[in-house]
A = this chain, B = another copy of it.
Amino acid sequence: MLQGYSIPRTPAGRSSLAPQPPWHYTGEVLAVEFTADPQAVAPFLPAGLAPASGERAGRCALYFCDWQFSTENGLDYLDPLTSQYRETILLMACERDGASASFCPYIWVDQDLALMRGLIQGWPKQFGRTGMTRGYGMRSPAAPSVSAGGRFGAALTFRERRAVEAQITLQGQSHRLPDPGFASTFNVRHFPRLTAGRHDDPAVHELVQLRARDVAVENPMIGQASLTLFDHPGLELAAFTPVSVGEGFRMSVSLTVDDLLLVEDYVLPGR
C-alpha cells in the first residue's frame, strides 16, 4: 500500500514532497504596504471575495520572507539545504461577507517542497528568487542595525528578470502589523484536468481560507519604505503599480499549518 501525503507516494512514505502536516515555520519577514488603483486590482479577486472598500480600497502589501521549516519530528532543520527557502508574497485587501480579508494574486518561492505545500493550501506558487538584507545583531559596516535608522533591502527575480525592489528604513517598534496580513489569507485551490474537452473543467477549484495556528510575531519594527514593481512579460504586475507607498516592517514570525477552511458555498465562476 502506497504511503505519503503528497506525490511521490511510495511503500515507505519517505519520499513525499510535502510531508504529513503539521508544518512548522519560523522566519524573518520584511513587508511594505502600498496602495494600487482599486479598479485595476479588483479583477484579480475570485468569486466569493469583494473589493476592499473605504480606506482599504486598493490596499496591498508585499512580504519578503526567509523561512526555515520542520515537521513533527522537529529535526528537518538539521538538513538546511532542504528546510530553508525564501518567498515573496503579494497580498491585496478584500472583503468576505462584509469583513476585512486578504487575497494572494501572486507568490514566489525558490524550492520545490515549499511549492508543493503551497499548492495544497491554494497559494499560487511559482518559482522566483528572493533576496533580503540580513541583520546579524553585531555592530558592523556590513549589516544594518535592527533598530531605528537600520536600512534593509529586498528584491524578487522571476524567470531571470527583476520583478520587485524594496527598501525599508526602520524608525522604531511597531504597535501594529501590516495590512493586508497573511495568516488568514483567502486562496483558490485549483487543479486542472488534462482530459481532452475538459481543459476548462478543473478537478479542484475551491475558495479556501488559511487557518495557521500558533502564530507568533516578535520584535515588529516599522519605518519608511520605497517600492518598485517592474514590467514582466510573464506577470500582470502593472495593475499593482503603487499609487502610494505606505510603511515598511520587519519582524520575526513563527506559525504552524495543518488546517484549511473550505468555504463551502463557493461556486465556480463562469468557466
The CA of A160 and the CA of B137, in the complex, are separated in Å by: 27
**Is the CB of A228 closer than 8 A to any CB of chain B?**
no
Identify A259's interface contact among B78, B112, B195, CB under 8 A: B195
Residues of B within 8 A of A99 (CB): none
Task: Report Cα–Cα, A134/B26, bound state, in Å.
Answer: 10
Give the number of chain A interface residues (Cβ < 8 Å): 109
User: In chain B, what residue has the closest Cβ to A127?
Assistant: B112
Q: Measured between alpha carbons, how far is A27 from B139 in the docked complex, in Å?
A: 11
Asked if A8 contacts B143 (CB within 8 A), the reply is no
How many monomers of this protein are in the complex? Answer: 4
Give the interface segment out of A52-60, A170-178, A196-204, A241-249. Answer: A196-204
Give complex CA distance A26, B193 in Å. 23
A133 and B68 within 8 A (CB): yes
A133 touches B199 (CB 8 A): no
- CB atoms of B106 and A15 under 8 A apart: yes
Asked if B160 and A157 make an inter-chain contact with CB atoms under 8 angstroms apart, the answer reads yes
Report A236 CB to chain B, min CB distance, Å: 5
Write out the residue numbers on chain B whose beta carbons fall within 8 Å of the beta carbon of A133. 68, 77-78, 80, 83
Residue among A8, A137, A258, A269 facing the most chain B CB atoms (10 A cut-off): A8
CB within 8 Å of B: which A33-51 residues: 43-44, 46
Specify the chain B residue showing the minimal Cβ separation from A154. B80
Cβ–Cβ contact B8 & A138, under 8 A? no
* CB contact between A24 and one of B26, B70, B142 (< 8 Å): that residue: B142
- A147: CB under 8 A from chain B? no
Chain B: CB-nearest residue to A122: B7
In the assembled complex, A14 has its CB within 8 A of some CB on chain B: yes
Chain B residues within 8 Å of A10, by CB: 44, 105, 236
**A218→B137 contact, CB < 8 A:** yes
| Residue with the greatest number of chain B CB neighbours at <10 A, chosen from A70, A192, A234, A236 | A192
Asked whether A80 and B134 contact (CB < 8 A) given A10-B105, A142-B69, the answer is yes
Q: CB distance A26 to B192 under 8 Å?
A: no
Q: Using an 8 Å CB-CB cutoff, how does the interface string of A177-188 with B read, 1 for contact, 0 for none?
A: 000000000001
**A-B CB contact pairs (8 Å), 8 listed:** A11-B44, A26-B142, A68-B142, A78-B152, A120-B191, A129-B160, A191-B191, A191-B203
